[in-house]
Amino acid sequence: MTKTLIGPEGIRIVLDSREIVPNDPGAGTPAMVYVGAHSGTFWCALDTGEIDGGDYTLSDRQSRWLDDQFDSVDAFMEQHG
């Protein structure tokens, strides 16, 4: 199952239950953040405020929105993992 959350300034989170690896949580990429052609994992973007290895810095508005999505992402992971 996939679910997309759309935020401000072109940011979106794509959740993909097929990427959840219960026995090895670091193996898949079940929560990805995209802004245009830039991408990164949800947790890295949440932690650093950057995606694409630092090539794209999230705006304050995007970062706040990402932080606000934590419970939704966590619930998705719990439900499907």
Q: Read off the pLDDT of residues 3-12 as tens digits, 9 standing for 90 and up.
A: 999 999 999 9
pLDDT (0 to 100) of residue 67: 98
Give per-residue pLDDT as tens, 16-59.
999 998 888 788 899 999 999 999 999 999 999 999 999 999 99
Residue 69: which pLDDT band, with cuts at 50, 70 and 90? very high
Contact 66, 46 (CB under 8 A): yes
SS (H, E, C) the chain: CEEEEECHHHEEEEEEHHHCCCCCCCCCCCEEEEECCEEEEHHHHHHHCEECCCCEECCHHHHHHHHHCHHHHHHHHHHHC
pLDDT (0 to 100) of residue 22: 83
- Please name the residue that has the structure tokens 């419970």: 71
Q: Is the pTM of this model over 0.85?
A: yes
